[in-house]
């Protein structure tokens, strides 16, 4: 039954068959199963974005069996606004389903002024989780990450803060993000001694950014930790958006720090060749790019962003064809090497 709430939007009842078609994969050696595709709230959930569009995206995600929502303290813009937006949507739509959701937040990047609003000190991390829980209206998050290594704070202090956050009941599991293999192994060792469940490493990974293959995936496998990949489409490069040049209003046209016209021009030939393989597979380039990451057994999930429910539904079709022939993998490797 749907009843209009005060905003005029129908109240939400989740799709009863939401778990029937999603694939769930174990995160390392933990008890946690994650959807093969998870939804990231890095973009499209700030105060500058339309609340109703964000609400539609999250409803669609859960209806498709996506149980994992990924946030961070500084997602927006402005900082903190994605968590506040999520808190508003959670209260309206997802409170009855809290135990079916796996919610993440992180801290490690610039968040507030002064010496205590950045990196990996105990003071910053404890304050961050308290702020995040308040913004989202939650008693706990399912996983809390240190968002990036801190070159100056002892790793024992940072990992000790994560351990205490778990012991205080503010998070069930911990993770790290953007750590190199050696740092990851050290973090795993400290957390194991502290008897804290370290289950995920969130890493940038795509056909055009394969650094995780140079030791990190092996390190995670040795330590029983799963990998969750972000930026699987290389900020839109691995989509059909740029096949015929750079459209006006696109990220590349704005020459943003993470995607510019030069990057598109340099990779255009590769993008077109990869698109030919995807078409022969009956997929969009974006779908093949996500499937290519999921071929790695250490990858528990791939984080996707979505600007609309329609785009999210297109991405989910990735799961219809996850298998590659040896010939396809060789051809892809030749193109991207």
Residues of the chain with pLDDT under 50: 1-3
Q: Running DSSP on this structure, what letter comes out for residue 45? A: -
| Tens digits of residue pLDDT in 246-298 | 777 676 667 665 677 888 888 999 999 999 999 999 999 999 999 999 999 99
Q: What is the pLDDT of residue 1?
A: 33
Q: Is 37 helix (H, G, I), strand (E, B) or coil?
A: strand
Sorted by sequence, the CB contacts under 8 Å of residue 295 that are 6+ apart come out as 322, 324, 329
Q: What is the pLDDT of residue 4?
A: 57
> What is the architecture, at CATH level 2, of domain 24-236+285-321?
Alpha-Beta Barrel (3.20)
Q: What is the pLDDT of residue 10?
A: 77
Q: What is the pLDDT of residue 259?
A: 75
CA–CA dist 135, 137 (Å, integer):
6
Q: Phi then psi for 102, rounded to 5 degrees?
A: -120, 100
Q: What is the pLDDT of residue 2?
A: 44
| Tens digits of residue pLDDT in 169-199 | 999 999 999 999 999 999 999 999 999 999 9
Q: What is the pLDDT of residue 112?
A: 98
Q: What is the pLDDT of residue 9?
A: 64
Q: What is the pLDDT of residue 86?
A: 98
For residue 290, give the nearest of 211, 222, 226, 230 by alpha carbon: 230
Question: ∠ at Cα 143 (57, 167), nearest 5°?
Answer: 150
**Spatial contact of 72 and 55, defined as CB atoms under 8 Å apart:** no
Residue 23 belongs to what H/E stretch? Answer: none
């Amino acid at each position: 039954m749907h009843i209009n709430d005060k905003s005029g939007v129908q109240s939400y009842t989740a799709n009863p068959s939401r778990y029937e078609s999603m694939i769930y994969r174990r995160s390392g050696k933990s008890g946690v199963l994650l959807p093969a595709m998870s939804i990231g709230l890095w973009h499209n959930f700030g105060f500058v974005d339309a609340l109703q569009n964000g609400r539609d995206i999250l409803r669609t995600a859960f209806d498709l069996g996506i149980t994992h929502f990924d946030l961070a303290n500084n997602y927006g813009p402005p900082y903190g606004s994605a968590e506040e937006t999520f808190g508003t949507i959670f209260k309206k739509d997802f409170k009855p389903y809290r135990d079916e959701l796996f919610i993440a937040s992180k801290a490690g990047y610039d968040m507030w002024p002064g010496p205590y609003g950045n990196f990996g000190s105990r003071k910053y991390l404890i304050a961050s989780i308290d702020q995040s829980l308040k913004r989202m209206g939650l008693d706990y998050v399912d996983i809390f990450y240190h968002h990036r290594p801190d070159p100056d704070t002892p790793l024992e202090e940072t990992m000790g803060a994560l351990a205490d956050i778990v012991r205080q009941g503010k998070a069930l599991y911990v993770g790290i993000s953007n750590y190199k293999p050696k740092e990851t192994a050290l973090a795993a060792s400290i957390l194991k001694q502290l008897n804290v469940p370290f289950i995920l490493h969130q890493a940038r990974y795509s056909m055009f950014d394969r650094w995780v293959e140079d030791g990190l995936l092996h390190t995670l496998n040795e330590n029983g930790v799963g990998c969750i990949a972000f930026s699987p489409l290389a900020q839109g490069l691995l989509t059909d958006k740029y096949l015929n040049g750079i459209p006006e209003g696109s990220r590349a046209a704005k020459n943003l720090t993470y995607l510019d016209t030069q990057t598109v021009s340099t990779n255009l030939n590769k993008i077109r060749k990869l698109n030919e393989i995807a078409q022969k597979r009956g997929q969009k380039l974006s779908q093949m790019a996500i499937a290519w990451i999921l071929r790695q057994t250490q990858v528990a999930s791939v984080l996707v962003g979505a600007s609309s429910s329609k785009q999210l539904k297109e991405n989910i079709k990735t799961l219809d064809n996850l298998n590659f022939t040896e010939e396809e993998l060789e051809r892809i490797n030749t193109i991207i090497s």
